[in-house]
Structure 1
């Protein structure tokens, strides 16, 4: 076995472990958001991260329509319709139409939605600080290598999600061949 195969296997094992931890982190993140919301005396908020992230997207880009939300969040329009309908019913967002375009519906936050937006921003500052603290142990060149690794994995996963699994596998094989020559 090529010596680099051992490290590749170890990286794959760590990547799988990271993926499992990321799934668990989503549960912990909603729990952390709930606790932070309570400390900020926020009594009502969506019970899932997608709803909270739609509120965040609207808050950052209001007024914004379904299509733009879907594009910015990499979700389907159908998913955004479902989430936005629920957020509207719960009073987090409001719908409006522009004077020059009565067909298109735009969303903005209500005061209740604005409170969720602000607590979510506080939570992201906490998470970002933690993340940066972890990265402080790496040199600039190590950070560049980590960045390259994540971008390569992201590109491959996007290809697989978009049904280009074969293209992703061929590109990976070609990259591996080029680096070993």
Structure 2
């Protein structure tokens, strides 16, 4: 069963009420969708969702430490950012991809990573972006294209992700 995240990015630092509203909006089971704490002391499950055949969770371990797990296995840990968010999930002909957004510092509003659930094991791409928090995402021919405005406001940069490979196109 697949799940698509709708709307804007959901912040990893959101209040419990916002997480509960997210779970309701995504039609996730109340018991498994949002939990106050993980087995790890002081950890909080911020988002939990079924995507394809996988369970993806965003877990806050402490200030500036957020993990992304797939089926309880850590696939990415962010120790630099102020926030980590799910932007959306995309089904690329049976291969599920999740676009993650990180906010790093006051100079760069956002950078992005792709969580790939379709390979032999889940993986996370290298970071990319122009510091813009306004991605335009397109899907075609098993390729996810993320376009972002450049800082000059006149041009755009674009990255293609396909089968585990991230390439800057312009």
Classify the TM-score, shorter chain: under 0.3
- Higher RCO (CA < 8 A, seq sep 6+): 1
Q: TM-score, normalised by structure 1?
A: 0.23
Q: TM-score, normalised by structure 2?
A: 0.25
| Bigger Rg, which one | 1
**Greater share of residues in helix:** 1
**Greater share of residues in strand:** 2
